[in-house]
Chain A
């Protein structure tokens, strides 16, 4: 399999994983709305039998439904943004916006590992010309690798550099260097090559630094 075949195959898998993750989250939001509506119906039936309805409970249920509708709407918007990531092979992007999207998409992954993702906002916009979809893909792989440790917090720090930009992914402690689970794998190396990027690993301090050139 050549570099582009590897990237394409992995890209489909990545896209599928994102879609499944968002679909799962939407299902959860719908399940809560479903139960809240059911509970409202229960209260109505009980009221018909003479049990008074507590207005405070109704208010909380309405708030819960609104919260879940907002959550589902956010998920759909993010999925839509993500779906358009592959529209252009190269575009000038604001790294903060990209990282906000990646953090949103990775929330479920982090929650499953009882971790939190924290995007550290830079003082100035960090702009770079790159392939957005491939960048999201490599960032996801890096987060997946880091979150496999027991970090409770992973920080994402975008920074402007002389050559372009870099993203520091910082865990709470070092990670073991296991040759059997080498990271970056051949696929991630192919992604980095396509992005003309570099990935430095700092296992002692649990940090990964993804550097990108200003001009693709």
Chain B
């Protein structure tokens, strides 16, 4: 499995990528929407893990642009906003199984990655 991590916190995504690699998941990381679009242009990914808020663009807007480049790409969203209201809004927009709140439990993220690849989840709109 190959995933792309997108978050403006470089230390977070670089560490997460290394931890995923120890578990057999190839992960690349970028910190901006622009870099994400370039990366998806040159490399095929099965899942993109997006922060809901990155500079200049929302995670959901980036999702739409990435989907245009690769309609097969699937998505998981991460957010630092932990309020119940944020969670409800985010879940409704992104699909409940694929909206995770930071700090993320790694095993839960891996579980969701496998779930989304196997198409067992609810799927995204």
Interface set of A (CB-CB < 8 Å, partner B):
20, 23-25, 27-28, 30-36, 38-39, 42, 46, 64, 68, 111-114
Contact B22 A42 (CB under 8 A): yes
Q: A31-B102, A34-B103 are in contact. Are A111 and B12 (CB under 8 A)?
A: no
Interface set of B (CB-CB < 8 Å, partner A):
8-9, 11-12, 15-16, 18-19, 22, 53-56, 80-83, 101-104, 106
Sampled A-B contacts (12; CB under 8 Å): A20-B83, A24-B80, A27-B102, A31-B9, A31-B103, A32-B12, A34-B104, A35-B103, A36-B11, A38-B19, A38-B106, A111-B55
Task: Rank and list the top 10 A-B pairs by shortest CB-CB distance, nearest first.
Answer: A34-B103, A27-B80, A31-B102, A35-B15, A31-B103, A24-B80, A114-B55, A32-B12, A32-B11, A28-B80
In the complex formed, the residue of A with least CB distance to B104 is: A31
Rounded to whole angstroms, the CA-CA distance of A32 and B19 in the bound complex is: 12
Rounded to whole angstroms, the CA-CA distance of A111 and B9 in the bound complex is: 11
Q: Contacts of B16 on A, CB cut-off 8 Å? A: 35
Contact B81 A35 (CB under 8 A): no
* Cβ-neighbour of A23 out of B12, B15, B82 (below 8 A): B82
Q: Contacts of B106 on A, CB cut-off 8 Å? A: 35, 38
* Cβ-neighbour of B9 out of A28, A38, A46 (below 8 A): A28
Query: Contacts A27-B103, A113-B55 given; 6 further ones with Cβ under 8 A?
Result: A24-B80, A31-B102, A32-B11, A36-B11, A39-B15, A111-B55
Contact A42 B19 (CB under 8 A): yes
Tally of contacts, chain A with chain B, CB under 8 A:
65
Nearest-Cβ distance from residue A71 to partner chain B, whole angstroms: 10
Contact B56 A28 (CB under 8 A): no
Q: Contacts of A111 on B, CB cut-off 8 Å? A: 8, 55
Contact A36 B22 (CB under 8 A): no
Q: Contacts of B11 on A, CB cut-off 8 Å? A: 32, 35-36, 64, 68
Contact B15 A36 (CB under 8 A): yes
Rounded to whole angstroms, the CA-CA distance of A191 and B81 in the bound complex is: 29
Q: A27-B82, A31-B102, A31-B103 are in contact. Are A39 and B55 (CB under 8 A)?
A: no
In the complex formed, the residue of B with least CB distance to A34 is: B103
Contact B102 A114 (CB under 8 A): no
In the complex formed, the residue of B with least CB distance to A24 is: B80
Q: A28-B9, A31-B9 are in contact. Are A39 and B18 (CB under 8 A)?
A: yes
Q: Contacts of B9 on A, CB cut-off 8 Å? A: 28, 31-32
Q: Contacts of B15 on A, CB cut-off 8 Å? A: 32, 35-36, 38-39, 64
Rounded to whole angstroms, the CA-CA distance of A193 and B50 in the bound complex is: 43
Nearest-Cβ distance from residue B2 to partner chain A, whole angstroms: 20
Rounded to whole angstroms, the CA-CA distance of A68 and B53 in the bound complex is: 19
Rounded to whole angstroms, the CA-CA distance of A33 and B12 in the bound complex is: 8
Contact B55 A28 (CB under 8 A): no
Rounded to whole angstroms, the CA-CA distance of A42 and B106 in the bound complex is: 12
